[in-house]
Amino acid sequence: MRRIHPYQTERFEPLHGVKQLEIPLRSGRISVNAVTEDHVFYDEDYRAEAAIATISYLRTDDGNTQRPVMFLWNGGPGSAVSMLQMECFGPYCMAKDEKETPLYGLETEVDTILDICDLVYMDPVGVGYSRLLREDAAEKYFSVDGDARSITFAIVSWLKRHQRWNSPVYICGESYGTIRACRVLDELGRDPFYGNRMMLGLPVAGVILIGSALSVGKEGTELIDPSLELITAALPSMAAIHWYHNHQNECSLEVFVEKAWEFGRTKLLPALFAGDDCSQEEVKNIAYQLAKYTGMDPLYFENSRLKLQRVDDFMTQVISQKGLRVDLYDGRMTASLTGFYNTVGDGNMPIAVMNGILAPKLGVDPDRVYYTGNLNVHPGWNYAVENGKSHMECLRAAAERMPAMKILMASGLYDLCTLAGNTRYQFTHSGIAEGRVINREYPGGHGVYSSKEGKVQFLLDVRKLIKG
């Protein structure tokens, strides 16, 4: 297995930093303690084998010692929670210029939800400040179940350390973090036959899922439900991106996307079901309509019998007339059609801002670097699950076990990685009782908060979820 931390320049010393902050919000100034700390895991001989670090923002001036608390993480596996902290929830976010390009600076997020809910940012083992301390323990942490179990017990450790046993608990996961959220819900339950067998039975007031990866199975490569064709899963996102680049003056984003979805439901799906029985003339007519909603060449769809072979085919066609391709994670963004395309981008301002500005602001001066990503955890990741339950089944079981638990599913319409059409299908076939899931789509990318409009709408929806 590839070493998780192949070049070690640091000596492990447990983190603990506390800083008192005054934060001006839109609703007024609040007092907050920022707490940075480790939750260390030991083996049977009490040797430290891993540490999960948390950065918590805890309001101190409202007299409520059991106020709501939200635990947040990102995905990957191997992606840090810094994106959710510094681009969405705050209270401090990266500065950006008028083109939304990240700058080396911090700004106060005046719409943070800290006035009503404490925030605990968690990084799984191997990323952020969190560390694998013994390579021979890797298998315990780098699997679907081991990852969720370690995060669960870090949550328990946090609740014990801060004496917040009676606080309403919310969890928020993005991308692969949506899988982690569903498995954590399972670990927090009281199943006597599966899981950590510690019978925790800890209630969760709400769960927020950003960019659903719940279709991912034991191979780790399944991005859409096996019942779907890629074209149907991707159609709303392709329509949204085509609208953004080519049709903004004709109608609203919502109207264009819903017309595409209705066309897919009433015309495209029956043709795909008919297969070879669909006449060439009908294929040609539907290919023309697909081109209208996607910006792709109708001949592509004629030759493929109305199927999308690869998402990259759309990425390289929709604005090819401008010599550009669109980005996987945010289709508003573009790159040269002929140059080298780096899916994750070439720059990493978050690592500089996190270590150079935010850490000192929080009173943290560790020997550790905060790593915003570590894909060394990825090659050996075990996607197989112990109990055979799908991630959606874990979510459904939690919804049945906790009737008051609220669920917010957030999708970015410009995201070509976790597709909004796939999410629509997943949750209309989830078996979760009607009305339990708030399914929202935002004018943003993989992070729904990547646009100003999307961020404002998303934070308002989160606030409504907590306030009821």
Does 141 have pLDDT greater than 90?
A: yes
Assess contact for 57 and 81: CB atoms under 8 A.
no
- Over residues 442-468, the pLDDT tens digits come to 999 999 999 999 999 999 999 999 998
- Over residues 217-238, the pLDDT tens digits come to 878 778 888 888 999 999 999 9
Cα dihedral 396, 402, 406, 408 sign: negative
Count of residues in the chain: 468
* 324 CB-near residues (< 8 Å, 6+ apart): 334, 335, 336, 337
> 152 vs 145, 239, 304, 362, CA distance in Å?
10, 39, 46, 25
For residue 195, the model assigns a pLDDT of 60
What is the rounded distance in angstroms from the CA atom of residue 322 to the CA atom of residue 318? 9
**Mean pLDDT, rounded, for 298-316:** 96
Of all residues in the chain, what percent carry a pLDDT higher than 90? 81
For residue 194, the model assigns a pLDDT of 66
Assess contact for 118 and 127: CB atoms under 8 A.
no
Give residue 2's pLDDT band: very low, low, confident or very high (50, 70, 90): low
- Fold exhibited by the domain 16-223+347-467: Rossmann fold (3.40.50)
- Over residues 335-344, the pLDDT tens digits come to 999 888 877 7
Please calculate the CA angle 143-75-190 and round it to the nearest 5 degrees.
55
Does 1 have pLDDT greater than 50?
A: no
Does 191 have pLDDT greater than 80?
A: no
Assess contact for 408 and 443: CB atoms under 8 A.
no
Strand partners, 107: 93
Q: Is 393 exposed, middle or buried (0-12, 13-18, 19+ CB in 10 A)?
A: middle
- Over residues 405-442, the pLDDT tens digits come to 999 999 999 999 999 999 999 999 999 998 999 999 99
- 202 closest CA partner among 141, 153, 237: 153
Cα dihedral 373, 378, 382, 385 sign: positive
Lowest mean pLDDT among 98-102, 142-146, 307-311, 363-367: 363-367
Does 192 have pLDDT greater than 70?
A: no
Does 345 have pLDDT greater than 80?
A: no
What pTM, to 2 d.p., does this model score?
0.95
Phi-psi region of 345 (alpha: psi -120 to 50; beta: other; left: phi over 0): left
Domain locations in the chain? 16-223+347-467, 230-307
- Over residues 195-216, the pLDDT tens digits come to 666 778 899 999 999 999 999 8
HEC assignment per residue over the chain:
CCCCCCCCCCCCCCCEEEEEEEEEECCEEEEEEEEEEEEEEECCCCCEEEEEEEEEEEECCCCCCCCCEEEEECCCCCECCHHHHHHHHCCEEEEECCCCCEEEEEEECCCCHHHCCEEEEECCCCCECCEECCHHHHHHHCEHHHHHHHHHHHHHHHHHHHCCCCCCEEEEEECHHHHHHHHHHHHCCCCCCCCCCCCCCCCCCEEEEECCCCCCCCCCCCCCCCCCCHHHHHHHHHHHHHHHHHCCCCCCHHHHHHHHHHHHHHHHHHHHHHHHHCCHHHHHHHHHHHHHHHCCCHHHHHHCCCCCCCHHHHHHHCCHHHCEEECCCCCCCEEECCCCCCCCCCCCHHHHHHHHHHHHHCCCCCCCCCECECHHHCCCCECCCCCCCCHHHHHHHHHHHCCCCEEEEEEECCCCCCCHHHHHHHHHCCCCCCCCEEEEEECCCCCHHHCHHHHHHHHHHHHHHHHC
- What is the C-alpha R_g of the chain? 23
Of all residues in the chain, what percent carry a pLDDT higher than 70? 98
Compute φ and ψ for 33, nearest 5 degrees: -100, 125
Provide the CB-side half-sphere exposure for 381 (13 A, CA). Answer: 24
Does 65 have pLDDT greater than 90?
A: no
* 374 CB-near residues (< 8 Å, 6+ apart): 4, 5, 78, 126, 127
For residue 217, the model assigns a pLDDT of 81
Higher pLDDT, 34 or 363: 34
Assess contact for 419 and 233: CB atoms under 8 A.
yes
Average pLDDT over the chain reads 93
